[in-house]
Amino acid sequence: MRNAPTILHLDMDAFYASVEQASKPSLRGKAVIVGGLGPRGVVATASYEARIFGVHSAMPMAQARRLAPNAAYLVPRFRIYRDVSERVMGLLRELSPLVEPLSLDEAFVDLEAGGVAWDAESARLVGVKLRSDIRAATGLAGSVGLAASKMVAKIASEEAKPDGLVLIEPGTERGLLGPMSVRVLPGVGPATGDHLRRAGIHTVEEIAEAGEDELVRLLGKAHGHALYAMALAHDERPVVAEREAKSVSVEDTYDVDIHDRLRVGLEVQRLADRCVRRLRGAGLSGRTIVLKVRRYDFSTLTRSETLRGPTDDPAVVREAAARLLEGVDTTGGVRLLGVGVSGLADFTQEDLFAQAAGEVAAEADDLGGGGAVAEEALGTSGAAVEGDRDGDAVGEAQAQAQPQPAERRWHAGHDVRHAEYGHGWVQGSGVGRVTVRFETPESGPGRVRTFRVDDPELEVAEPLPLVAAETPVAPG
């Protein structure tokens, strides 16, 4: 390990919720919960005001509503989250060529590699300036941890929350970690934590005292050795600039269990197409097709098939996913479906037979093309294919149906613009009405107005920047 705290870990505070509060002046200082709003949605992020009520990430949305009934519940706006993330990551890359993003709102930075820090004092100054720069560029707060290793830097940033900075001097790590719960260490989840607790081990110091041999006996060779090293604050992992993707996948959770086998098949085909679009967008291909099915009783089945070579052909992925589905019993209903591709590569080996079959299928059009309505929001999905018809009836109905204008849908929290009242965001909709609050990041709390869902003067809008761009000063 290095002898200076020059590994920085940045974690943006309650990122999604903080972006929403920065965008919407009326929500600042109030409980905000972002996630899937359907009956089976989950919380993606809760603001600190919401956490007071016990709401936290990954909690079922129904439980969150019981704990915080008066909070603002919003559908995620991933485009603005990505835009803000890119600005933050750009600031990190100005510090060092070695930036390792973990997610949209979290990253490690090797300050020593960038030549901007070499001891505790210089590292602290970099951390202070970074937090200031992030607030100036985005209006948001980020917490910073500084240490000589990635593990301790991440723990330090957790200790710094919210909106703080914690620096751990090399040599003091064990004193910090000792009294902490074993769950603070990477790789110690609920199951491992319970196993250690039953052995009388509750803290990091007790892991160190138990000794390596006892941990290997309890947890196995690999996990035991790794956990003992972490308890001694030994972590030699470098900051890696590019984290190679291991798989690409998409999945949907359904508000109502799907019982109709044809409908399940159509959903799998739709998910396969979405997965391939994401795969191609990343310039990748893959050899192994994976199908995930969560049934009505919460049991989850995963099936996979490995092809002769990597592919990014939607027909190949659809056919493989369909074959995998044939081996899965969906009697009783399905609550979640997912399709993924692993064994990634940056080249393809075309399957000519599947490609030919895909060309024939394309002429008949994709059966799922007009039969399902998917939501990109976390944990929500719906579908409009009727489940009480046989396959022939569904195909005939689709062939004879006349094109219908799509019903306008207004997602809570998303941006809109009205011809008269300007920019605003959707507070809610239902019974043919949509309620909009008209405000911008630079305004005060705005007025609320209600319109018909088909009001021609109301339209979907792009998110506004959280911080207004500075107006250049004209030369005198």
Catalytically annotated residue among 100, 106, 267, 375: 106
SS (H, E, C) 272-288: HHHHHHHHHHCCCEEEE
H or E segment at 140? none
CB under 8 Å, gap of 24 or more: what pairs does 189-197 form? 192/219, 192/223, 195/219
173 noted as active-site residue: no
Helix (H, G, I), strand (E, B) or coil at 126: helix
Q: 413 — phi, psi (to 5°)?
A: 95, -15
Composition of the chain by helix, strand, coil, percent to 5 = 35, 25, 40
Q: Which residue has the tokens 């899937």?
A: 36
- Residues contacting residue 238 through CB under 8 Å, at least 6 positions apart: 98, 110
Phi, psi (5° rounding) for residue 83? -60, -45
Question: What is the per-residue DSSP string for 183-201?
Answer: GGSTT--HHHHHHHHHTT-
Q: Could you give the dihedral angle defined by the CA atoms of residues 276, 280, 281 and 283, in that order, rounded to the nearest 10 degrees?
A: 150
Q: Which residues are catalytic?
A: 106
